[in-house]
Amino acid sequence: MSPELLRLLVVATGDTLRMVAIAAGLGTLFGLPLGVFLATSGRGELFAAPWANRVLGILVNATRSTPFIILVVAIIPFTRLVAGTSIGTNAATVPLTVAATPFIARLVEGAIREVDAGLVEAARAFGASPLQIVLKVLIPEALPGIVLGLTLAVVSLIGFSAMVGAVGGGGLGDLGIRYGYQRFMPEMMAAVVAVLIVLVQAVQTIGDRLARRLNKRLRHA
């Protein structure tokens, strides 16, 4: 591979990492409280609001069930409103964030629902408020599961970031399509795939180790 192609690969990798980091950060910022609410707003739960829970659940499911490439095209007007353009790395973070938020919300909801209900009842018996129960019982106990969920979300975002290359989103996907496919350069396509595999493996390894460490800390607490 020539130095110029290697430079393009490094730049594209940086763009992909930036897209994924921003989307994961914003997706967690929006998805974490949404997931907590979904897990605690059912009938008879801490923040009982069955109608709100049902409506938000439908919206989350609708977004998650939309294929990502269709979602990218469908929200182009919103992407232009937020990013000022519908192409490029900055624009790509908008659909990535929209896709990540409900995905993370459901993962957080699932992790919180795995927490032993007896712990919640014990906290209630000691007079803890619903917010205190969420912050001091549910989230700490569910943290290993949440970390694993976020790891899965980041891995999925790496794959989604490659898809946005098909619509001018930049990053490794765009590089693979423009050089590997359109210019018939199999070595570039192979390099892009190899980098994506390394990124996914690194994220999964870090997430697994962090979750195990948090789990051990909870057991010894």
Residue 199 and residue 71: Cα distance in Å, rounded? 24
The domain limits of the chain are: 3-220
Global pTM value: 0.91
Q: Assess contact for 37 and 59: CB atoms under 8 A.
A: no
pLDDT tens, the chain, 221 aa long? 678 888 989 999 999 999 999 999 999 999 999 999 999 998 888 888 999 999 999 999 999 999 998 999 899 999 999 988 888 888 899 999 999 999 999 999 999 999 988 888 899 888 889 899 999 999 999 999 999 999 999 999 999 998 887 777 788 888 888 887 777 788 888 999 999 999 999 999 999 999 999 887 776 65
Whose CA is closest to 155, among 23, 63, 8, 14?
A: 23
| Rounded Cα distance, 31 and 75, in Å | 19
Protein fold of 3-220? MetI-like fold (1.10.3720)
